[in-house]
Amino acid sequence: MNYKAVLFDFDYTLGDATEAIVAGFTYAFREMGLPIPDRDSIRGTVGLMLEDAYTLLSKDEVPARRAEFRRLFAQIGHPMQLEGVPLFPGAKELILALRDSGIPTGVISSKRTDALVSILEKHGLARLMSLIIGGDKVDRPKPDPQGLLNACSFLGLKPEEVLYCGDTVIDAETARRAGTCFCPVLNGVTPVDAFSSFPWEHIAPDLLELRRWLEV
């Protein structure tokens, strides 16, 4: 393998937090007196900052309402995520295999860092990762490359030595801006054709195939 580190997005890349996210959106929209979006529409916003997802689905750009949505979402969505989020098949085995091969791993996500750490700890993975950077640890969310570049700097690596794996075009654009290599993982709702305008090393239908491609 030519990469000196492999970093991951979380939602729909390593883990599936659909139930908690849908529950949080449903509760918040109901409390705000808004029509509740369908499940697929909510899933399609994963990867965006919560406020931006709210505006996309509600068309409401009022800052106070965007903040209110986050507060209400947190009452339901965050506790459910802290209780545990299932990983996709092969996720744990891939992280362990990379660790055993001496390849540092980490997560760069829009999700809150405390939620990421809690989820990964429950699966015994947090201690195996070199870094976990949530959306609250950066000033500018993805696709701004701040988080990914901070990770490269922390690891002492050039961006081109790092592979970033994610499920959305937001992840692809983040990698492009950072100058890292990129591998789409098709665990989410983004169709493969959406990545055609982005540079990528490999397209993995799932994490099991990604591990085979990485040869770890």
What is the structure's pLDDT at 44? 85
84 pLDDT more than 80: no
User: Rg of the chain's alpha carbons, rounded to an integer?
Assistant: 17
**Which domains, ranges and CATH numbers included, belong to the chain?**
5-16+86-214 (3.40.50.1000), 18-83 (1.10.150.240)
Give the predicted TM-score (pTM) of the model.
Answer: 0.88
**What average pLDDT does range 189-213 have in this prediction?**
96
pLDDT tens for each residue of 145-162: 999 999 999 999 999 999
Query: What letter would DSSP give residue 64?
Result: H
- What lies within 8 Å, CB to CB, of 136 at 6+ separation is 112, 113
**pLDDT higher than 80, residue 114:** yes
Q: What is the pLDDT of residues 35-72, one digit of tens each?
A: 999 999 998 888 788 899 999 999 999 999 999 999 99
Q: Is 38 a residue of the active site?
A: no
Q: How far apart are CA 4 and CA 23, in angstroms?
A: 38
Catalytic residue at 11? yes
Phi then psi dihedrals of residue 163, to 5 deg: -105, 125
**Mean pLDDT over residues 84-104, rounded?**
95
In this predicted structure, what is the pLDDT of residue 54?
A: 96
**Active-site hit among 9, 16, 167, 171:** 9
